[in-house]
Chains A and B, each alone.
Chain A
Amino acid sequence: MPADLDDLFDALGRSADALPLAGAADAKRRGRQRTWTQAAVAAAAAVVLVVAGVGFALRDPHPRASRPASTPTPTVFTTGVPIVGTVSLGTRNIATGLTAQDGERAYAAWVSQDDNKQWVIAADLASGAESWPAHEIADPDRSIEQIVVVPEAVLVVTVTHSGATPERALYAFDPAGGVPLWNGYVMAGDSVVFTHRMLVRSSRSDGAVEGLDWRTGERRWVVPMEDDRPARTIGMRTAADEERIDRAGARPDLTDGRVVVITVAGKVRVLDAATGTAGAAASVPVGSGDTMVAYEGRLFSHDEADDNGGPHHIRATDLTGVGGSAILGTVPDRFLSMAGCGPDRVCVVTARKPRYSSTVLTAFDAAKRKLLWEAPDEFGGSEISSARGRVWLDAADGPAALYDTDGTQILTATLSAGWLDAGTLLIYAPDGTGRWSRWSIANRKITPLGAPPGKMLGFCASTSSRLACPGEDGLRIWAVG
C-alpha cells in the first residue's frame, strides 16, 4: 500500500481539480445538439414501432379531422420521400450541420468530424444539383453556430465558448457563386442583427452601433453612444417575417429595416438599419433586457423586478412615435419566454407552481391592452415560434403542440415535427405508418409523403415544396409538395 487511503483520494481529488472543464456554455450547446439528436433517434424509433405494429406515433386531439376516415393497418413503407438530388459534401463524417434557404438555393454549413474543418456549400432547390462547390472556412478555434441568408450574402457565424476572443466570427459568401466576400468578428457581449438592409452590430465596450454592408463588410454608418452605451440591440420582427418560417424555425434575417437599441440606462432608440438615422425614442425599466421582443412596431418586455415568483408585468412600448408604454397584463409564477404571435399580439410562456413542470401559454392583445386567452401546456413547452397567429410550442426534451389563434390546442406531436412553411407542418403520420407527412394547418389535411430518411445529421431548412437536410450522404433535397 503506497499511502494512506485519505492521502490517495486527496491526490485523486487534486488531480481532478486540475482538470479543465469546457464551461456552462459548452454544456448548453451540447444540450441543444442532444435535443436535435434525440428527435432523430425518436424518429427512427417511430419506424421501429410501426414495424412492430404498435400504436400511433403522433397523438392528435382531433382524430376525425386529421386522420383518414378508415385507419389503415400499420404497414412497412419502403417508398421514401422523393429525392430531388443529393450534393456530395466531400467530407465523410459530419459533426454538425446547419441549413438555410432563400427559395432558390439551400445553403449548408457543417463541421467535418474527421479533421474539424468547417465548410459551406449551396444546392439548387429546384434541381437538387450543386450550385457552388464547398468552401472551407479556416476557423479551427470555433464551431458553427448559425447560417443566415439575405439577398446579398450568405453568412456563416462561428463561435467559441473557450473564453478566447473574439467570441464570434462572421464569414460572408456570395449566394450566387459562393465567392468569399469578407470576414468579421463579434466580441462577447456585443449584439448582431441581420436585417436585409445592413448587418447591424452594437458594442457595449465601444459604445457604438454600426451598419455593415452585406457585400463588402465595410461600415456604412456608425452611431456613437458613449455616454449611455448600448446594452442590447434587437431587430424589429414583423408578422410578414413569419411568413418565411421554415423547418429551420423563425428566420433570423429581418425585412423591416428597423433595429431597436436598448441602452444601459434603459433608453430605447430606434435606428434605420440602412442609414443609422434615429427614429422613435422611449424608455423601459432598467434590467428588462434579455427577454425583450421588438415586434410589429412595439417593444415587449417584462419587468424583471418581478422575477421572484411574479406576478410579471407584461409591458408594450410603442416605437412608432404615436403611443407610450403600457402594461398589458400580468402572468404568475415563473416567466420563461415571450414572442410576437400575430399582429398586435404577444405570447408569454410561464411555468406554474408547484412543480413548474407544466407551462401556460398566454396571449395578450397589445392594441386593446388585455389578456386574450391562456392555454395550459401539459408538455412543459417553452420555445415559441409562430406564423399567421398560430403558435408552435416546443418542449426542449419532449413533445410539441400547436395552438390556434384562439388558444385552442389543435395538434400535439410526440415526435420530431415542425414548420414546413407558414401554413404547413411536417409531421409523422398519425396512422401508425411512421411516414413523413404534410399537415395543412388551415384544413387539417394530412398528405403522406413517404418513409423518412434514415440518416440526417443536421438541421434542415424547407420551402413549401422542398426539404433540404445535411447528412452523411450529402446535402439532400426532397420533394415535399
Chain B
Amino acid sequence: MDFDSFYRDTSRRLLRYAYGLTGDPGEAQDLVQEAYARAWQRWRRLVDYDEPEAWLRLVVNRLATDHWRRLGVRRSRPADRPAPIDPPSEDVVLLVTAMRTLPAAHRRALALHYLLDRSVAEIAAETGASTGTVKSWLSRGRAGLAAALGSPAGVPEGADRAR
C-alpha cells in the first residue's frame, strides 16, 4: 500500500469524521491534512499497522482538542487551499451546533456510528471502551442532541439504529 493510494482510499471517510467532530468545514479540512502530514512522516511504520486508518482518527481526535498544534504548523497558503464551497444546509448547521454541546466522547461515538457506520462493538474496539460504555455514550449523545435540537420526545428518531 502506498501513501497516495491510502490517502485516496481513506481521506473522504476521515474528512466526514473530522467534520462530525468539529462541525467546521475549514477546521475539518485542516485536521485531515495535518493528520495525513503526520502519517506521511511515519509512513514506513504506519503502513504495517493493522488499522492505520484508526490511527488517523486518533490523531484527528487529539488535534480536534489541541489548539496548540498551530504552534508547530503553518497554515497552508490560501493559494493551496481548496476552493470555496456552497454553505451547508440548515439541517447540517443545526446538527453541528448541537454536536458542539456534547462531550468529546459522545461526539466521537456518534461520528463513528452515524458517519462511518461503525457498530457498537467496532467503536468499543477502537476506543478501548466496553460495549456498555459505548452504548451509554451513544444513548447520552442522542439525548444531548435531542435536547439541543429541541426534540419533544427527548430521544430522537433513529435511536434504535445502534447495533
Contact = CB atoms under 8 A, between A and B. Distances in A.
B66 to A, nearest CB: 14
Most-contacted residue by chain B among A17, A30, A143, A160 (CB, 10 A): A30
Contact of A2 (B71, B73, B94, B115): B94
Contacts, number: 182
B41 A15 contact: no
Given A19-B25, A20-B85, A396-B41, A30 B73 contact: yes
A95 interface: yes
A227 interface: no
Interface string B39-71: 111101101100000000000000000000001
A27 interface: yes
A23 B20 CA distance: 20
B163 interface: no
A233 interface: no
Nearest to B90: A2
A38 B95 CA distance: 37
A5 B145 CA distance: 9
Given A16-B15, A116-B79, A23 B7 contact: yes
Contacts of A37: 72-74
Contacts of A142: 79
Contact of A34 (B18, B73, B79, B90): B73
A27 B85 contact: no
B132 interface: no
Contacts of B125: none
B79 A140 contact: yes
Contact of B79 (A13, A160, A355): A160
A310 B161 CA distance: 47
B32 interface: yes
Nearest to A354: B48
Interface in B1-28: 3-4, 7-8, 11-12, 15-16, 18-20, 25, 28
Given A11-B91, A15-B92, A141-B79, A21 B20 contact: no
Nearest to A355: B48
A24 interface: yes
Contacts of A26: 33, 76, 80
Contacts of B28: 16, 19
A2 B37 contact: no
The 6 closest A-B pairs by CB, nearest first: A20-B82, A1-B151, A27-B36, A31-B40, A5-B158, A9-B114
Interface of A: 1-9, 11-13, 15-24, 26-28, 30-35, 37-38, 41, 95-96, 111, 113, 116, 140-143, 160-162, 334, 336, 351, 355-357, 380, 382, 396-397
